[in-house]
Amino acid sequence: MIVDISIDQGGCIETSECKTQVDPVFTKHGVIHYCVPNLPSRVARTASIAISNVFAPLLQKMGESGGVKQFLKDDKGVRNGVYIFNGILTNNFIGNHFNIPSKDIDLLMAAF
């Protein structure tokens, strides 16, 4: 069985397909797959603690850098995790899956 917890980032297994909570499981090549985006929402308390431990230092750095836009410009790792910037979808995988146009965040950031 494969549980692809990074499916909302495009997945990490070649056979992964983004599914929904209504129809979460499928079999491909004899292997059962569970590939539902936002899996941490199923363990909300634990996920909240983990996210707080990650976001506190990021928010501190963001404040020290001069704000959100400057922080995104300075930190490629954080920039790669952005799904929407100024109301524009920046995650190509999500855009393709839901047939929504998306833009490259690096191109959008060049304007700032």
Residue 100 falls inside a structural domain = no
Q: Average of pLDDT values for 53-77?
A: 93
Contacts 24+ apart (CB under 8 A), 65-73: 69/109, 69/112, 72/105, 72/109, 73/109, 73/112
Q: Identify the helix (H) or strand (E) that includes residue 27.
A: strand 25-28
7-25 pLDDT, tens digit per residue, is 888 888 899 999 988 999 9
**What range does the domain containing 20 cover?**
1-37
Q: What is the DSSP letter of 7?
A: G
Residue 49 falls inside a structural domain = no
Residue 74 falls inside a structural domain = no
Residue 107 falls inside a structural domain = no
Are the CB atoms for 79 and 72 separated by under 8 Å?
yes
Q: Is the pLDDT of residue 71 over 90?
A: yes
Residue 42 falls inside a structural domain = no
Residue 52 falls inside a structural domain = no
Q: How many domains does the chain have?
A: 1
pLDDT confidence of residue 21: 85
pLDDT > 90: percent of the chain: 66
Half-sphere exposure of 81 (CA within 13 A, CB side): 8
Which amino acid type is present at position 17?
Answer: E
Q: Which residues pair with 22 in a beta bridge?
A: none
Residue 11 falls inside a structural domain = yes
Higher pLDDT, 51 or 82: 82
pLDDT confidence of residue 104: 94
Mean pLDDT (the chain) is 90
Residue 72 falls inside a structural domain = no
pLDDT confidence of residue 82: 93
